[in-house]
């Protein structure tokens, strides 16, 4: 009969006699190699850290549920979206560029990732607190992130590098406007909206498809920190948003978000005034109204951060029937990159870590082995087709989409529309206070070590968006606005040469 062992043991289950004293040859003698307890303890400690996420390294998360509140069956057959359905979720919020120990109050977009543990498998929506993104082609992603992270030479972050990249990539202006607006530093993870940012496909049981954008509107209300408030918070508490999330849930204040979608038919997309798959653009509410589809509530904090949040792997390619990708070029790159980064960070069997496992049963396929294989494969056949009772492929009804055209690198040059939406934001969405905040934040940021020529080139972006905005920033960053006006008259190629 086995004896239940409740005392401390080695990793292999044997009793562990002393956790504080090494085995030595005599009282003052050297430590013995045969002290296997010490060796095991130190060796495990040496391996405690895993590679941090290359982006979104610092984050916090919580569990909860999503309840579908509207009949969307004519748009999507996804089971978890059907009215009345309640689905467990894990949400993770993060900053982007900082390391695992960086401050929560940095000016940076916030990641807003949700894993829906649906009855048809996991669906991951890996968005941000901003409806748009800096670039529209994943080919630029490593360069963009390098410009945000530490420099090769001195391991310092550089505002100069950020504005250099941004001003040479004017499609980024819309996201810069959001980042430098008062929403650039949310007061907490609870007080911000989430957006799927990309366009996704929904399809119904009749194989009709639609294009969709997600909006998670905070029920706590938007609250932000000014530049000065953020500096004060960071000086006192580098983890303020993580702490806020845990404390609120511990106190029974469960944060919630009202979930909305914008839906476009393929015909509307074809006739849309600009590329509806360009992630640097929103779909104006006036053209494509939002409709409410559900509510997300977070009511359980993790009890082991590493196991449940650090090892949580969100992956935009985790779709369920009824939802699929769109041709958004940035999304297409992320479909590869997130899965790939988790393979590097957590290993080939990261899907078997409990927090990442689907709740509708174990994965059934013919992928085998690799580090830490604890799968339910058992003794079954490891090839398909087989006639030995292994799982057979299931029909998927995803509709065909008529993509066509020349295989080529189709350059999407900067165009008027790249300035138009930020201009609507500046002139119509923002009030006097928000405009003041934007100008202050941009100036403070540029005055943090940006070269004169790069300030001038950056101000050309703002000039093309709205001369009033450029004038106000120019005054605060010591740039001659007359020069900016002249530079703005050049072609983009001439501007690049003139500010080289
Ligand atoms: P609307 O007036 O219908 O919507 C404006 C949106 O702007 C609201 O959703 C509001 O969010 C949001 N907003 C307000 N202040 C900020 C800020 N500082 N940073 C980011 N978002 C903010 O207008 P349109 O739909 O025609 O869009 C106009 C402009 O608003 C766009 O060009 C874009 O720059 C911006 N925007 C549009 C969104 C969209 O999906 N259409 C989403 C977010 C921004 P809230 O309701 O929470 O106050």
Hey, whose CA ends up nearest to atom 19 of ligand 1?
178
How many angstroms separate the CA atoms of 185 and 230, rounded? 7
Atom of ligand 1 nearest to the CA of 177: 19
Pair 132, 279: CB distance under 8 Å: yes
Closest CA to 338 of 50, 51, 49, 54: 54
Instruction: Decide whether any atom of ligand 1 lies within 6 Å of the 178 Cβ.
Output: yes
Note if 174 is an active site residue.
no
The residues with which 455 forms a beta bridge, in sequence order, are none
How many angstroms separate the CA atoms of 56 and 477, rounded? 30
Largest CA distance in the chain: 89
> What's the half-sphere exposure (Cβ side, CA atoms, 13 Å) at 65?
9
Note if 56 is an active site residue.
yes
Mean pLDDT calculated for residue range 410-429? 95
Instruction: Decide whether any atom of ligand 1 lies within 6 Å of the 285 Cβ.
Output: yes
Atom of ligand 1 nearest to the CA of 434: 18
Atom of ligand 1 nearest to the CA of 183: 18
> Which of these is catalytic: 56, 174, 191, 351?
56
Distance 95 CA to ligand 1 centre (A): 21
Closest CA to 229 of 443, 61, 437, 56: 437
How many angstroms separate the CA atoms of 108 and 274, rounded? 27
Q: Give tens-digit pLDDT for 103-154.
A: 999 999 999 999 999 999 999 999 999 999 999 999 999 999 999 999 999 9
Q: Which two tokens stand for residue 259?
A: 């979930």
| Whether the predicted pLDDT of 2 surpasses 80 | no
Q: Give tens-digit pLDDT for 228-249.
A: 999 999 999 999 999 999 999 9
Phi, psi values for residue 452, rounded to 5°: -55, -45
Q: Give tens-digit pLDDT for 199-213.
A: 999 999 999 999 999
Instruction: Decide whether any atom of ligand 1 lies within 6 Å of the 424 Cβ.
Output: yes
Give the sign of the dihedral formed by CA 170, CA 172, CA 174, CA 176.
negative
Distance 273 CA to ligand 1 centre (A): 18
Pair 280, 172: CB distance under 8 Å: yes
> Mutate which of 112, 262, 429, 431 to test ligand 1's pocket (most atoms within 8 Å of Cβ)?
429
Instruction: Specify the 3-state DSSP secondary structure of 30.
Output: coil
Distance 103 CA to ligand 1 centre (A): 27
Hey, whose CA ends up nearest to atom 43 of ligand 1?
131
Atom of ligand 1 nearest to the CA of 438: 18
Could you write out the DSSP letters of every residue in 341-377? Answer: HHHHHH-TTGGGSGGGS-TTS---SS---STT---S-
Helix (H) or strand (E) holding 210: strand 209-218
Distance 297 CA to ligand 1 centre (A): 23
- Whole-model pTM: value is 0.97
Closest CA to 101 of 148, 52, 62: 52
Pair 263, 212: CB distance under 8 Å: yes
Grade residue 361 by pLDDT with cuts at 50, 70 and 90. Answer: confident
């Amino acid at each position: 009969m086995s004896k239940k062992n409740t005392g401390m043991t080695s990793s292999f289950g044997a009793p562990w006699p002393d956790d504080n004293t090494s085995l030595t040859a005599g009282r003052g003698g050297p430590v013995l190699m045969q002290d296997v307890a010490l060796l095991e303890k130190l060796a495990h400690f040496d391996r405690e850290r895993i590679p941090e996420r290359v982006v979104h390294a610092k984050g916090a998360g919580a569990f909860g549920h999503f309840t579908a509140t509207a009949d969307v069956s004519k748009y999507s057959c996804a089971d978890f979206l059907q009215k009345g359905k309640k689905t467990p979720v894990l949400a993770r919020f993060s900053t982007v560029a900082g390391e695992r120990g960086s401050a929560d109050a940095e000016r940076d977009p916030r990641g807003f990732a949700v894993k829906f543990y649906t009855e048809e498998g996991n669906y991951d929506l890996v968005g941000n607190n901003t409806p748009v993104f800096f670039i529209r082609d994943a080919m630029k992603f490593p360069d963009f992130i390098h410009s945000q992270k530490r420099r090769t030479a001195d391991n310092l972050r550089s505002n100069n590098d950020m504005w250099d990249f941004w001003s040479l990539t004017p499609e980024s202006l819309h996201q810069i406007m959001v980042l430098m607006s008062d929403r650039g530093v949310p007061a907490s993870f609870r007080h911000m909206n989430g957006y799927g940012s990309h366009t996704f496909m929904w399809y119904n049981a009749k194989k009709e498809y639609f294009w969709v954008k997600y909006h998670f509107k905070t029920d706590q209300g938007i609250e932000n920190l000014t530049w000065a408030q953020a500096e004060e918070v960071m000086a006192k508490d580098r983890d303020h948003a993580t702490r806020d999330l845990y404390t609120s849930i511990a106190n029974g204040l469960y944060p919630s978000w009202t979930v909305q979608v914008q839906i476009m038919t393929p015909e509307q997309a074809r006739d849309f005034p600009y590329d509806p798959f360009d992630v640097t653009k929103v779909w104006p509410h006036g053209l494509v109204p939002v409709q409410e589809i559900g509510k997300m509530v977070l009511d359980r904090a993790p009890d082991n951060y590493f196991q449940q949040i650090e090892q949580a792997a969100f992956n935009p390619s985790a779709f369920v029937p009824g939802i699929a990708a769109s041709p958004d070029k940035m999304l297409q790159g992320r479909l590869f990159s997130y899965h790939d980064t988790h393979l590097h960070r957590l290993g080939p069997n990261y899907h078997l870590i409990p927090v990442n496992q689907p709740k509708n049963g174990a994965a059934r396929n013919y992928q085998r082995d690799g580090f830490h294989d604890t799968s339910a494969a058992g003794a079954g056949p490891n090839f398909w087709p087989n006639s030995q009772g292994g799982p057979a492929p299931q029909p998927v009804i995803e509709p065909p989409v008529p993509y066509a055209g020349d295989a080529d690198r189709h350059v999407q040059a900067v165009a008027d529309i790249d300035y138009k939406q930020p201009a609507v934001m500046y002139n119509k969405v923002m009030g006097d206070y928000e405009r003041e905040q934007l100008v202050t934040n941009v100036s403070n940021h540029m005055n943090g070590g940006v070269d004169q020529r790069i300030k001038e080139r950056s101000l050309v972006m703002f000039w093309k968006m709205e001369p009033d905005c450029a004038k106000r920033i120019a005054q605060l960053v010591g740039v001659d606005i007359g020069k900016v006006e002249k530079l703005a008259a050049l072609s983009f190629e001439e501007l690049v040469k003139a500010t080289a």
